[in-house]
Structure 1
Amino acid sequence: MDVYAIDSPHFSSPIAQVYVLNPEAFPTLSKDTSQQDCTFSSEKVACTVGFFDGVHRGHQHVLQSLRAAARERGLSTLVVTFAQHPRSLVRNVVAPPSLTTLQEKIDFIGDCHIDAVAVLNFTPEMARLTAQDFMKFVLREGFGADFLLMGYDHRFGRPRADEGFSDYVHYGEAEDIEVALCDKEEAELQLSSSSIRLLLEQGNVAEANLLLGYRYRVSGTVIHGFQNGRKLGYPTANLEINSEKLVPHLGSYATWVEWRGQRFAGMTNIGRRPTLNNGTQISLETHLLDFKDNLYGESLTLEFIGRLRDEKRFEGLEYLKAQLALDAQNTREMLRKTL
């Protein structure tokens, strides 16, 4: 995909990197390859703004609504988002672990058939903007926004007392931006990134998957471990993953493992391996069923299907081996139901 740095005379650095997922939607887009920046303001776009961590069912509903509104108006679609949680930049607090890496977020947004994603360079300079200034200098002048779809509970810009949707409509009128409010996605359970994080932190991956609308996944590179699994007859691939990515609660899980375009059944353990006395460091390792190749240095993606059991300390290695055999059987049965 093409990536463009978007400049603005109102800011000392580019305001965003725009990832163009559908080049046909931007036939007039000009790019100065020597500077790697361009102007986007001549484009005609419908946009929405948010962090979109996890791109869950609620987010997907907003993106589907954005596409529908754009089609009615003959506009291209643009999602304006952030590389880091804005809370960590504005309030100087530790951000919660992410459900998606930036690349995963862009890929999931692309799966919703959005034309482009703008990742804001959220500097202190930009953080000081009011909602009205953000709409003027970033959305209108920076991205050429003609239409803005607001999430039902979303706000942006430096907080102002009692600022609400009617204010955004008023700001839009001044900048010739049509502002609309997206209806709430109906669901029996609360749809939010926070509720999904809580489910994963509890090990409830099956319920989290229902809210996400897809299977929670973790990708990483296979590194060398203690090789104790090999000695037990269950060699494991130890994954090194993005440190900001949320890892489900300690325990064993049934997973699908993607490697080089192929899919394998896997049983994955997240924990400290207490029976083997391997210290306190938490590891993420997976055993691929019916698999023999060397995976060191390879990239794997795990899709979490269901929880097998809690992590526990066994009285001896024979008890652990017996449990691993049972885990393998339960993994096959759990994954068979997803075929």
Structure 2
Amino acid sequence: METIKFSLDNLPEKKDNLTLALGTFDGFHKAHYKLALNARLEATSYSGILFFSSSPENYLSRNKSKLILTSLDDKIRYVSKIGLDYAYVVDVDKSFFSLAPIEFIKRILLPLGVSSIVVGEDFRFGKDGAGDVTLLRQFFKVYCLKIEKLDGVKISSSNIKEYIEKGEIKKAWKFLGHPYEICGYVKKGFQNGHKIGFPTLNISLKDNYVLPLNGVYYGLCYCLGLPYKALINVGNNPTIGKLKEPIIEVHLLNLNKDLYNDFVYVSFLEFKRKEIKFNSLQELKNQIEDDKKWALSLDPFK
């Protein structure tokens, strides 16, 4: 799959008979996967997907959260497994999302060579979400997929965010179709983990990810090209000295190595307990030892 980045003022080469999947694709959940897969299966010539260089939430949200489930790099990584020909990335700013629906069609979709579109039945586009499937059908062949549900609940990025913020990691995994994952660089922290015998990687997040409920999780940390079992803490460290903002600390269960400045991925697989304030450091150490035994007993692939 080739990634093609472009702007309204610098359009890429036209690909005739392009079948394109459209959506916001935050989380690249099961319904998103189905859209992308259908774009590949329905294509008679070229297949592709359109991403925005920055999340629409950054420009359209007012009272809503601007937190994301997946960065642009994450989305490209997930979609690369499907076998599309192209991942288009259009450079956006606030003015881009003021385009009227007909402008979006005439300035982007038609110049790209789009002949067929794959969207969900509730897809909206253009300024104020005024564009819909009916308008798209005036210009393209449209494959309109029904809203996907699990257990009677719509598979949507907003629902998945809610599950993650409640610590319902397995439920989020079920709706995503893959474990919830964040990434960033290992930075130097306060060394509190080292002081009590449980060294941790302090993760400086690459993007404005949704954070799980403060607490302890089991997961995997992908570093040095391999996955390692990990005990993950999300929180403010109330026992040692409460922080203003929650941080992510990862204790590797089968690796002890200096990884400062390394780029890592962290997958959340199971929730253990909420964050609490202990009466002493010894109580905290005892609990972490118990958490570690629990994590070591788990199989990450079940």
TM-score (norm 1): 0.82
Q: Is the CA contact 1:88–1:94 (under 8 Å) kept in the aligned structure 2?
A: no
Query: C-alpha displacement at 1:260, in angstroms?
Result: 1.3
C-alpha contact (below 8 Å) 2:3/2:87 kept by paired residues: no
| Cα distance between partner residues in 2 of 1:131 and 1:186 | 28
Q: 2:46 aligns with which of 76, 89, 97?
A: 76
* Residue from 280, 298, 311 that aligns with 2:262: 298
Distance 1:274 1:106, change over 3 A: same
Cα offset, 1:330, TM superposition: 1.1
Q: Are 1:47 and 1:77, in contact at CA under 8 Å, matched by a contact in 2? A: yes
Residue 133 (structure 2) pairs with residue 165 (structure 1): yes
State the shift of 1:5 in Å.
Answer: 4.7
For residue 231 of structure 1, report the CA deviation from its aligned partner. Answer: 1.8
Structure-1 residue corresponding to 2:294: 330
Contact 1:61 1:185 in 2 (8 A): no
- Percentage identity across aligned positions? 26
In structure 1, stretches of 5+ residues that fail to align are 16-38
Q: Shift in Å at residue 264 of structure 1?
A: 1.3
Q: CA–CA distance in 1 between the matches of 2:244 and 2:15? A: 55
Output the amino acid matched with 1:50. G
Q: Deviations over 1:179-220 (max 9, x none)?
A: 231233342232000000001111111110010000111111
SS in 1 for 2:229: strand
Listed one character per residue, the Cα deviations across residues 256-310 of structure 1 (whole Å, up to 9, x for unaligned) are 1111122211101111111111533322101111322212222221110111111
Determine if the alignment matches structure 1 residue 184 to structure 2 residue 152.
no
Q: Distance in 2 between matches of 1:96 and 1:160?
A: 18
Q: Which range moves more in the overlay, 130-139 or 87-96? A: 87-96
Q: Which residue matches 1:24?
A: none
Q: Structure 2-normalised TM-score?
A: 0.91
After superposition, the CA RMSD in angstroms is 2.2
User: What is the distance in 2 between the residues matched to 1:14 and 1:90?
Assistant: 24
Contact preservation (8 Å) 1:50, 1:82: no
1:220/1:299 contact within 8 Å kept: yes
Q: Is 1:51–2:24 an aligned residue pair?
A: yes
- Report Cα offsets for 1:59-81 as digits up to 9, x if no partner: 111112222211xxx22111112
Aligned residue pairs, count: 301
Corresponding residue number in structure 1 for 2:10? 14
Deviation track 1:310-333 (CA, whole Å, cap 9, x = no partner) reads 111111111111101110011122
**Residues 303 and 115 of structure 1, relative CA distance in 2, 3 Å threshold:** same
| Deviation (angstroms), 1:139 | 0.4
SS at match of 1:303: strand
Structure 2, gaps ≥5 residues long: none
Give the residue type in structure 1 aligned to 2:48. L
